[in-house]
Homo-oligomer: A and B are copies of this chain.
Amino acid sequence: MANITKKVSWSSRGDDSGLAGEGTPLLNGTEIPKPFRQLSGSGSVFRIGRFSTVDLEDDITSEEDPIRGRPKEIPHNEKLLSLKYESLDYDNIENQLFLEEERRMSHMGFRCLEISRWVICGLIGILTGLIACFIDIMVEKLAGCKYQVIKENIEKFTEVGGLSISLILWAVLNCAFVLVGGIMVAYFEPIAAGSGIPQIKCYLNGVKIPRVVRLKTLLVKVLGVICSVAGGLAVGKEGPMIHSGAVVAAGVSQGRSTSLKRDFKMFEYFRRDTEKRDFVSAGAAAGVSAAFGAPVGGVLFSLEEGASFWNQMLTWRIFFASMISTFTLNFFLSIYHGKPGDLSNPGLINFGRFESDSVAYYYYELPLFMGMGAIGGLLGALFNSINYWLTIFRIRYVHRPCLQVMEALLVAAVTATVSFTMIYFSNDCQPLGPEHNEEYPLQLFCADGEYNSMATAFFNTPERSVRSLFHNQPGSYNPLTLGLFTLTYFFLACWTYGLAVSAGVFIPSLLIGAAWGRLCGILLASFTPTSPIWADPGKYALIGAAAQLGGIVRMTLSLTVIMVEATGNVTYGLPIMLVLMTAKIVGDYFQEGLYDIHIKLQSVPFLHWEAPATSHWLTAREVMSSPVTCFNRIEKVGTIVDVLSNTSTNHNGFPVVVQVLDSDEPAKLCGLILRSQLIVLLKHKVFVELARSRLSQRKLQLKDFRDAYPRFPPIQSIHVSQDERECMMDLTEFMNATPYTVPQDTSLPRVFKLFRALGLRHLVVVDDENRVIGLVTRKDLARYHLGKHGLEELQLAQT
């Protein structure tokens, strides 16, 4: 057995030695503390102090004691790579058990599996659609009540004076909703905060984010997003739908719920990372589809985020789930709205109908649109930069749940106050037409038969505000209203994203963009008052919305398709694409996309599409971890237990080698075995000696591994007696006998390509005698990235 060290640079977690972590937060790479620099020499090999067993769902502590484990200040830096995340194993473990099962299965059996996959995708679609429907109706009811109460109150006090009471009422109602949502998220399930899109991106990329696809997360997410939207925050309910769809998929496809301790004995074949990840991608697509009524956009989103596993049948299934999801939502919402059969609510956000005639564009408008794209990119980069610093601040100072809830309450109160102030001081009165589509028109100080235009933007759910900006008659808003609204909402939305509430950033982005886009339209029209082309500011609102959203999230193809589908009009394909492209190019020049920023700040080992272009001079020998802990094909139980118990390593994959007996030749690689497999073997005491004595005992089957998936017990919970320690374990049957390998001279891009294309977790590096000399894992590859000054190497740290 080789020795058990790993080339790694790290930071402790505060309570251990205080190397880093206390007092000196790492910001932006400028203040790397001394111990760090000493330890991070890429050549130095040393034993490391205290590592948890990372792979084995380390939430026992964090769930039971979410507060005590946290240090006061967490060192944070986007130049770190956390060791707490593990890879998903997208590569099938082809051991003898697996192969035997596959070989036993008939053609019919595979066909049944295929049908099950379709059934699961149908279920995912239906459930996701129902959840979306539930969220939509609840938000509508709650927000409706709230706005009705406040409207009546305002109307009462407008005449008699004392509108400050209305303000207080509004603020209190908002805070009440946000309090409930905030407490749930901060105390019960912090992973449910935000939109969940960064987490799902990571999951689809192949990173196992703890607790991200649990039932509890789903509950908190759904209730949390209802509270946030009803609480009047500058948030949308669309992002969380994507997360919800993913959780639904992960749950349904496994045919059981570990949280509820129910096993339906269904879909057992799908209990492994490979299948689960495929279904989660379907769930994410179904979520996008329900959120925007964009089934094709959903599929493209899933592809964009995790396409190392693209396959025609899979894509078609994902599309099926998406279609079912949007149809379910549409069907039930149309019943709810009392118009069954009228399928006009394909998504949570409905852009309303853009008729081609009224809002056709001409090709000489394209440069204008691109200019707006550039503005969107600039504003997006500003948004992201502000949010970046805010997030750093939050990580450093606002990490206690009570502080997080208080911040959320503060934002809720400020949002209400600002909105009220804006409405109060606005004197943009518009006539209330007979067929007005304002839900809660506030008269306030306007003349009779008129309403306050600022209130249509602020005193409404964001979805409705977006629709008003797209479709209200020209002249419904005056430019000052729009300008002020853009300004205030921009900062409110920026402050809100990252709070400990469930909330998406799509709708606020669209709203900001629609406001300044409409403003652009109005200004253009005022320059050329005779031309009918600029007549409809709704068109410019749409383009502005696309530009702003593109500038913030920087998605490409999928966002184009989502926008086109949400618009319901294919004609807008070209301008939307040009706008998104410009916004991305301009934005990328200054700052990354919002989701990427948050992923980086979480120090997730995210693999991009390709290795950095300038990394051809690196070879597998340089990037791999070595020396590697290997096991013999027949290994002593004690050795295995010791290795697994050794908290100073976080090894999850162990090459299995075979030694030629009575020879000094070096050992050859013959397989790869995972920690989780060894744990199951130890738990079932699959020892050579016991097998001989208990011949009648049933053989270990794949089912035993599947039953333990995905929450394998930690090694500490398995008792191995002193006698048993002397037994031997034969790994032949259980190891993956044909792991992928690369020679040590392989260039980094080549290693990266293999790793990424196959979704690997461990890649064994061998010499030309087939001896193990290293192991490449996700972190070894994610470490290298292209910074502004060429290739940079991130530090590994246990944050």
Binding site for B on A (CB under 8 A): 92, 94, 99, 102-103, 105-107, 110, 295-296, 299, 303-304, 307-308, 310-313, 315-316, 319-320, 323, 326-327, 331, 341-343, 353, 356, 360-364, 556-557, 560-561, 564-565, 568-571, 573-574, 577-578, 581, 609-610, 613-614, 616-617, 658, 668-670, 737-738, 740-743, 745-747, 750, 753-754, 757-758, 766, 768-770, 786, 790
Q: For A570, list chain B residues within 8 Å (CB).
A: 564-565, 568-570
- Cα distance A320–B577 in the bound complex, in angstroms: 8
**Is A614 in contact with B737, judged by CB distance below 8 angstroms?**
no
Q: Are A616 and B363 touching (Cβ within 8 A)?
A: no
Q: Could you say which residues of chain B place their CB within 8 Å of the CB of A319?
A: 556-557, 560, 577
Which residues of B sit under 8 angstroms from A740, Cβ to Cβ? 742, 754
> Across the interface, do B770 and A323 meet the contact criterion of CB distance under 8 Å?
no
Q: Are A110 and B613 in contact (CB under 8 A)?
A: yes
Contact in complex: B311, A310 (CB < 8 Å): no
- Report the Cα distance A743→B764, complex, angstroms: 13
Query: A362–B342 Cα gap in the complex (Å)?
Result: 7
- Report B-chain residues with C-beta under 8 Å of the C-beta of A311: 307, 609-610
The answer for the CA separation of A311 and B609 in the assembled complex, in Å, is: 6
Question: With A110-B614, A310-B310, A331-B363 known to touch, is A296 a contact of B746 (CB < 8 Å)?
Answer: no
A94 touches B750 (CB 8 A): yes
Would A577 and B610 be within 8 Å (CB), given that A363-B343, A557-B316 are in contact? no
Chain B residue with Cβ nearest A753? B758
The 5 closest A-B pairs by CB, nearest first: A102-B616, A110-B613, A738-B746, A757-B757, A341-B362
Which B residues are CB-close (under 8 A) to A316? 556-557
Residue of B nearest to A533 (CB): B341
Given A94-B750, A363-B341, A738-B750: A568 touches B568 (CB 8 Å cut-off): no
Q: A319-B560, A570-B570 are in contact. List 15 more A-B contacts (CB 8 A).
A: A105-B614, A296-B557, A296-B560, A304-B315, A316-B557, A320-B577, A323-B573, A343-B362, A356-B568, A565-B570, A568-B569, A658-B768, A670-B768, A738-B742, A766-B770
A571 to chain B, nearest CB (A): 7
Contacts of A299 in B (CB 8 A): 557
Closest to A361 in B: B343
In the bound complex, residues from chain B placing their C-beta under 8 Å from that of A669 are 768
Least CB distance, A795 to chain B, in whole angstroms: 22
**Is A107 within 8 A of B790, CB to CB?**
yes
A481 CB, nearest partner CB in chain B, Å: 32
Query: Cβ of B747 and Cβ of A754 under 8 Å apart?
Result: no
- Alpha-carbon distance A322/B578, docked complex (angstroms): 12
Give the nearest-CB partner of A788 in chain B. Answer: B107
B768 touching A609, Cβ below 8 Å: no
Report B-chain residues with C-beta under 8 Å of the C-beta of A614.
105-107, 110
Complex Cα distance A320/B320, Å? 27
A610-B311, A769-B770 known; A577+B323 contact, CB < 8 A: yes
A selection of 30 A-B contacts at a CB cut-off of 8 Å is A92-B750, A99-B616, A102-B616, A105-B614, A107-B614, A295-B573, A303-B303, A303-B315, A307-B312, A312-B609, A313-B609, A315-B556, A316-B556, A316-B557, A320-B581, A323-B574, A323-B578, A326-B574, A341-B363, A342-B360, A342-B362, A343-B574, A565-B573, A568-B571, A570-B570, A658-B768, A738-B746, A753-B758, A757-B758, A766-B770
A356–B353 touching, CB < 8 Å: yes
Per the bound structure, the CA–CA distance linking A410 and B753 in Å amounts to 53
**What chain B residues lie within 8 Å of A353 (beta carbons)?**
356
Q: How far, in Å, is A589 (CB) from chain B's closest CB? A: 12
Tell me the complex Cα distance, A327–B573, Å.
10
A768–B667 alpha-carbon span in the complex (Å): 10
Residues of B within 8 Å of A362, CB to CB, are: 341-343
Q: Which residues of B contact A766 (CB under 8 A)?
A: 770
Q: Which residue of B lies closest to A618 (CB)?
A: B103
Q: How many Å lie between the Cα of A307 and that of B311 in the bound state?
A: 8
Q: Which residue of B lies closest to A616 (CB)?
A: B102
A103: contacting residue among B564, B573, B616, CB under 8 A: B616
Contacts of A610 in B (CB 8 A): 311
Given contacts A353-B356, A362-B341, is CB(A303)–CB(B296) below 8 Å?
Answer: no
Kindly state the separation between the CA atoms of A746 and B689 in the bound complex, as whole angstroms: 30
CB distance from A187 to the nearest CB of B (A): 37
- List chain B residues, Cβ under 8 A from A106: 614
Chain B residue with minimal CB distance to A566? Answer: B570
Contact A747–B573 (Cβ < 8 Å): no
Q: Does the CB pair A573–B296 fall under 8 Å? A: yes
A565 surroundings in chain B (CB, below 8 A): 570, 573
When C-beta atoms are compared, the residue in chain B nearest to A105 turns out to be B614
Q: Which residues of B contact A574 (CB under 8 A)?
A: 295, 323, 326-327, 343
Q: Which residues of the partner chain B approach A307 to less than 8 Å between Cβ atoms?
A: 307, 310-312
Contacts of A658 in B (CB 8 A): 768
* Min distance, Cβ A743 to any Cβ of chain B, angstroms: 5
B107 touches A786 (CB 8 A): yes
Q: Which residues on the B side are within 8 Å of A312 (C-beta)?
A: 304, 307, 556-557, 609
A569 vs B565: C-alpha distance in the bound complex, in angstroms?
9
Do A315 and B557 touch across chains, with their CB atoms under 8 A apart? yes
Which B residues touch A105, using CB under 8 A?
Answer: 613-614
- Which residues in B have their C-beta under 8 angstroms from that of A770? 766, 768-770
User: In the bound complex, what is the Cα–Cα distance between A481 and B312 (angstroms)?
Assistant: 39
Q: Which residues of B contact A363 (CB under 8 A)?
A: 327, 331, 341, 343
Give the Cβ gap from A339 to chain B, nearest Cβ, in Å: 11
Bound Cα distance from A578 to B295, whole angstroms: 13
Inter-chain CA distance A291–B645, complex, in Å, is 63
Candidates B107, B343, B571, B743; contact of A613 at CB < 8 Å: B107
For A617, give its contact among B103, B568, B745 (CB under 8 Å). Answer: B103
User: Do B94 and A747 touch across chains, with their CB atoms under 8 A apart?
Assistant: yes
Closest to A340 in B: B363
B296, B308, B613, B743: which contacts A561 (Cβ < 8 A)? Answer: B296
Per the bound structure, the CA–CA distance linking A342 and B616 in Å amounts to: 49
A737 touches B741 (CB 8 A): no
Residues from chain B with a CB closer than 8 A to the CB of A571 are 343, 568
A327 neighbours in B (Cβ, 8 Å): 363, 574
A294 to chain B, nearest CB (A): 8
User: What distance in Å separates the Cβ of A64 from its nearest Cβ neighbour in chain B?
Assistant: 40
Q: A269: shortest Cβ distance to chain B, in Å?
A: 12
A311 to B757 alpha-carbon distance, docked (Å): 10
CB distance from A295 to the nearest CB of B (A): 6
How far, in angstroms, from A311 to B103 measured CA to CA in the complex?
Answer: 34
Chain B minimum-CB-distance residue to A319: B557
For A668, list chain B residues within 8 Å (CB): 768-769
Which residues of the other chain, B, contact A609 by a CB distance below 8 angstroms? 311-313
**A616: chain B residues within 8 A (beta carbon):** 99, 102-103
**Closest CB of chain B to A536's CB: distance in Å?**
16
A319 to B753, CA, bound (A): 23
Chain B residue at smallest Cβ distance from A744: B738
Q: Which residues of B contact A103 (CB under 8 A)?
A: 616-617
A590 vs B403: C-alpha distance in the bound complex, in angstroms?
65
For A342, the chain B residues whose CB sits under 8 A away are 360, 362
